[in-house]
A = this chain, B = another copy of it.
């Protein structure tokens, strides 16, 4: 059995794009410690756990993500540490944590990661990994457990900035083959505003690493769109792995 460090945890803010609802969602874990009524979202928290002694933080994040949600091979990035001594505010929270981990908890500093995944591909409910996981809309995510609402707001800020200055991460949220409207819609959902279709396409074209695969959508009740893919080789060659189409 691995020994847990009682001062250190990792939390994962898992973002998923709901292309039907045109909304950005997060995957949260539902506990049952506060009464159902009137407790707001206090029973919802991000998947997270204490880290094992002698475990690398990044590995810890991957392990926790996989154990709690079954997710693998996802884009995961550390974005901040949260360490207010009163992060765990309620006695019930402390009790829950101690029962949950089976060790005495003091003050816990959490290292927060965000993950980008495709809801259609990685729906944990479909995979019946845990029946306690739920996707919720970020607009309904106020008043989460611990300081998780604060963590969410920092995560969102970071995601939006990364999406602009490091555009390639957007592709984590799309299938291998996608249409330019899918990509544009992703930006609109995450950034929260509309973009001009023609200007958007000009930028994509200039970036050069998003290329048509010569196939079209099928089965859609409208003009089928050309499918595109991410060309890693072109990306690396022109952008040294960092660049962006700076929406």
Which residues of chain B are within 8 angstroms of A7 by Cβ–Cβ distance? 5, 7-8
Contact code string A5-18 (vs B, CB < 8 Å = 1, else 0): 10110000000000
Partner of A8 from B8, B54, B165 at Cβ < 8 Å: B8
| Measured CA separation A106–B85 after assembly (Å) | 21
The reply to whether the CB of A80 lies closer than 8 angstroms to some CB of chain B is yes
A26 contacts chain B at the CB level, 8 A cutoff: no
User: Which residue of A54, A60, A81 has the most chain B CB atoms within 10 A of its CB atom?
Assistant: A81
Q: Taking CB as reference atom, which chain B residue is nearest A6?
A: B7
Report the Cα distance A82→B58, complex, angstroms.
9
- Sort chain A's interface into a size bin: 20 to 34
**Nearest CB to that of A110 among chain B residues?**
B81
A107 & B54 in contact (Cβ 8 Å cutoff): yes
Q: Is the CB of B8 within 8 A of A106?
A: no
Assembly CA distance A192 to B108 (angstroms): 39
- Cα distance A82–B78 in the bound complex, in angstroms: 10
Cα distance A111–B53 in the bound complex, in angstroms: 17
CB contact list, A77-130 vs B, under 8 A: 78, 80-85, 106-107, 109, 111
Given contacts A7-B7, A7-B8, A109-B111, contact A80 B83 (CB under 8 A): no
Q: How far is the CA of A57 from the CA of B111 in the complex (A)?
A: 12
Contacts of A106 in B (CB 8 A): 53
| A56 located at the interface, meaning its Cβ lies under 8 Å from any Cβ of chain B in the complex | yes
A76 to chain B, nearest CB (A): 14
Contact A109:B56 (CB < 8 A) given known A81-B78, A81-B81, A165-B165: no
Once the chains bind, are B57 and A83 in contact (CB under 8 Å)?
Answer: yes
User: In the complex, A106→B55 CA distance in Å?
Assistant: 12
Given A7-B5, A7-B7, A8-B7: A85 and B107 interface contact (C-beta under 8 Å): no
**In the bound complex, what is the Cα–Cα distance between A54 and B86 (angstroms)?**
8
Q: Contact between A81 and B107 (Cβ–Cβ < 8 Å)?
A: no
Report which of B56, B84, B85, B165 forms a contact with A83, defined as CB distance below 8 A: B56
Known: A7-B7, A8-B8. A85 touches B165 (CB 8 A): no
